[in-house]
Structure 1
């Protein structure tokens, strides 16, 4: 028969067990509550960030149309749209925005223009200027053309891709987004990091704006254009050429005359822009981008959104230093 001391020990164990169960239950309820709160907060902040992004998109459209009214015959990095929006305080955080002229890059979809083979030459010159293998142009052309003929230099059609560990076929269509380059044979992460800032995926038939083109894109116009000559045309990013002849006069003075075919697809105005919004709410970053087309001279004139995206290409950015040069890649 148990004595009072043994009974007190059992009662103490039961009390401790009850307390432990209560603590576990309360902790579980608190954890579920915090998780529900976090989910609700993230949903609300996500919707808030989306509303801010749409506002930034509308603001960018107004800036572009105002710029068109002020200077319809040229676009340059000296205009209002090219200056970043300073950080703006908003409930829960802040936001910034910037805009980039997509006519300042080489449109890969122009490679489908069979009546203007100059775009293939420009792509090869661009690869050389970036110290990349020019034969990559063949693989890029084969990716977007609609035939099964393998390009003589560096080309690759379905058979090359179907033989890989994860098989797939060529696109056989224009690029919908520049990130598709990563599917092309030979375009490694390091190559993509160097090439992607200089190229874009726009509707075929666009031109290159010599006022906003980079040094590498200017060098792609002719193999004789050196980095020094491109710098003179670029004018440290502040070029404001009023017409094509003035822009190419610097090259002509160095005995680099562009033929009529080489001058095709060149200009000093722009129609396509990439607007980016960086929004920070409760220390959570949200990144948005919108591809905008500014249409003039038609019944549907105005600014139209062609594409929207979320997030950033951090994988490519991480391979570049603060000057845009390729970091050492193991």
Structure 2
């Protein structure tokens, strides 16, 4: 009697073990299937988001070309500056905004003259740092970062001596977030500077209609924040020419500290931001668009939801984050 009972017990244990193994295998297969489904869905949504982003670029290009034909100054009230309301698309919603990069300080204008920079911009950057209550030494650090000779000798030793060593670029900034790598620019300083600066090809002009109050103040001798606010006109400035802007300075007791040839009321570079939500998953993309007499072209694209990377963010926007975006040069 004991032997048959013992055999039945062993058979029951074997059966339970087989059932447990079968359950584990089925669960693993289901989990692998769900993972494969999620991976496929994410890939398809990523490709769909990229297609929508390219469509937004086409939409932005049409608006910029139309504005170019009108020969009107570029302002915050220009048609291209009006946001695209949320649009329902298969699988989600898209929206877009476009901001003028001509109204920000181009860091690459501080490059040596051989690279297209202009020394007239250095006092402006100095005063911009002062207006933002930032370390004045940042200006020299940025210039040294841009200078191939200084970056390869003196600056290289300083950067390589850091706990996390790396070499300075020794050339123009590829992206404004690269400023975070410059010696003396911590997260707090970067957050203050980001709304006022950008990285464009050297030699660009500054749009007086879309420049921030702090930047307008830095452009002028003996300017006060109140004078800059008066010229900014609460973001509604609409100067038809540089001469018209200059005509407003004498009554305020201020004057330009840079040649008027460095200023303009029209812009050649713009930042498109697209916000795409598909299946509840957000995709944020940025495109730097150049507009010239020959048409428009995309200079660079980046993806990420870091608002600090919106280098032309509204004045007063508080942004504090490290740069963490995938940037890809447009082909």
Query: What do residues 180-231 of structure 1 show as CA deviations (whole Å, max 9, x unaligned)?
Result: 1111100001111111221111111111101011111111102422211111
User: What is the CA-CA distance between 1:314 and the residue it aligns to?
Assistant: 4.9
Q: Secondary structure at the residue paired with 1:220?
A: helix
Matched with 1:31 is 31
1:67 partnered with 2:64: no
Partner SS, residue 185 of structure 1: coil
Q: Normalization by structure 2: what TM-score? A: 0.89
Q: CA deviation at 1:316?
A: 7.1
Partner of 1:22: 22
The size of the alignment, in residue pairs, is 315
Deviations 1:250-282 (A, max 9, x none): 3221121225x4434111010100111111111
In 1, the alpha carbon distance for the partners of 2:314 and 2:118 equals 35
Could you tell me how far 1:3 is from its partner in structure 2? 4.2
**1:25-80 deviation digits (Å, cap 9, x = unpaired):** 1100100000000010011000000000000001000010011112x141111111
Change (3 A) 1:322 1:262: closer
Q: Answer 1 or 2: which has greater helix percent.
A: 2
* Residue 183 (structure 2) pairs with residue 185 (structure 1): yes
> Against the structure 1 CA distance between its residues 6 and 314, is the aligned structure 2 distance closer, same or farther, given a 3 Å change threshold?
farther
Q: CA deviation at 1:284?
A: 1.1
Q: How many angstroms does 1:7 deviate by?
A: 3.1
CA distance in 2, matches of 1:136, 1:236: 29
State the Cα distance separating 1:322 from its structure 2 match.
9.8
Structure 2 distance, partners of 1:186, 1:36, is 46
Unaligned 5+ runs, structure 1 = 151-155
CA distances 1:273-327 after superposition (whole Å, capped 9, x unpaired): 011111111111111111111011xxxx00011111111335778xx99942477
Query: What secondary structure sits across from 1:148 in the alignment?
Result: helix
Please report how far the alpha carbon of residue 10 of structure 1 lies from its aligned counterpart in structure 2 after TM superposition.
2.2
* 2:155 corresponds to which of 148, 154, 157: 157
Kindly report which structure 2 residues correspond to 1:171-210, keeping only aligned pairs within 5 A, or say none: 171-210=169-208
- 1:144 is aligned, of 143, 146, 167, to 146
Change (3 A) 1:314 1:79: closer
Preserved contact between residue 83 and residue 99 of structure 1 (Cα < 8 Å): yes
Conserved in 2, the CA contact under 8 Å of 1:53 and 1:288?
A: yes
Task: Work out whether 1:97 is the aligned partner of 2:96.
Answer: yes
The match for 1:292 is 289
Cα distance change on mapping 1:167 and 1:3 into 2, 3 Å: closer
* Counterpart among 299, 303, 323 of residue 310 in structure 1: 303
Aligned mate of 2:137, from 118, 131, 135: 135
1:108 & 1:322 partners in 2: Cα distance?
18
Q: Distance in 1 between matches of 2:9 and 2:282?
A: 56
SS of the residue 2:143 aligns to: helix
**Aligned equivalents of 2:314, 2:68: Cα separation in 1:** 34
Q: Residue 217 of structure 2: which of 216, 219, 233 is its match? A: 219
Looking at structure 2, the residues matched to 254 and 9 of structure 1 have their Cα atoms a distance apart, in angstroms, of 100
Match of 2:328 in 1: none
TM-score (norm 1): 0.89
> Is the 8 Å Cα contact of residues 125 and 220 (structure 1) preserved in structure 2?
yes
**CA separation of 1:109/1:322 partners in 2, compared to 1, >3 Å: closer, same or farther?**
closer
2:227 to 214, 226, 229: 229
RMSD: 2.4
C-alpha contact 1:292 1:305 (8 A) present in aligned 2: yes
- Aligned partners of 1:95 and 1:147: how far apart in 2? 46
**Aligned counterparts of 2:207 and 2:108: Cα–Cα separation in 1:** 16
For residue 138 of structure 1, report the CA deviation from its aligned partner.
Answer: 0.5
Number of the residue aligned with 1:153: none
**Structure 2 Cα separation of the partners of residues 314 and 19 of structure 1:** 53
